[in-house]
């Protein structure tokens, strides 16, 4: 079998790079963990800047949620997002910006000591209650 090394080398290098990137990503994701205690969750929220970002029509609840999730991931914590309908009835005094129609994005954190998930409003760091 004749192998044209001039053409196969870039492809081989690309495959190796993709495989290494995948392995690195897997290692990073496997180090992501839930919050152990509510104190740990509140400390993370207090130190994170997401709530200090001004709300704009181009940076609304979805961007707040995505930003807090990414900031948590960078510090080794797992958060996830959820879309809720009619957030004003769920949290009447939450003091978040909301266009007043449709649904609203917030974060969810699992706290292992409580064996429970909590809603988090990324616009103001409030822990809004347990996820039922």
Where does this chain bind Ca ion (CB under 5 A)?
A: 48, 51, 125
C-beta of 51 vs 114, nearer to Ca ion: 51
Distance CA 106, CA 91 (A): 12
- Beta bridge partners, 58, equal none
The answer to whether 46 and 125 are in contact (CB under 8 A) is yes
The answer to whether 108 and 118 are in contact (CB under 8 A) is yes
Residue 54 DSSP class: P
Alpha helix (H) residue ranges in 75-121:
87-90
Shortest Å distance, C-beta 122 to Ca ion: 9
Shortest Å distance, C-beta 40 to Ca ion: 14
Shortest Å distance, C-beta 115 to Ca ion: 25
Nearest to 82 by CA among 112, 128, 119: 119
Shortest Å distance, C-beta 31 to Ca ion: 23
C-beta of 48 vs 121, nearer to Ca ion: 48
C-beta of 17 vs 74, nearer to Ca ion: 74
C-beta of 66 vs 125, nearer to Ca ion: 125
The residue at minimum Cβ distance from Ca ion is 51
Distance CA 130, CA 72 (A): 19
């Amino acid at each position: 079998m004749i192998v044209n090394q001039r053409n196969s080398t870039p492809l081989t290098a690309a495959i190796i790079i993709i495989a290494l990137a995948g392995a690195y990503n897997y290692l990073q994701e496997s180090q992501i963990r839930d919050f152990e205690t509510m104190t740990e969750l509140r400390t993370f929220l207090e130190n994170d800047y997401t709530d200090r970002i001004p709300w704009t029509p181009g940076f609304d609840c979805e961007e707040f949620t995505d930003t807090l999730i990414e900031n948590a991931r960078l510090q080794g914590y797992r958060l996830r997002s959820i879309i809720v309908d009619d957030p004003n009835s769920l949290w009447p005094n939450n003091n978040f910006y909301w266009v007043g129609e449709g649904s609203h994005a917030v974060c969810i954190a699992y706290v292992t000591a409580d064996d429970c998930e909590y809603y988090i409003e990324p616009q103001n760091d409030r822990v809004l209650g347990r996820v039922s």
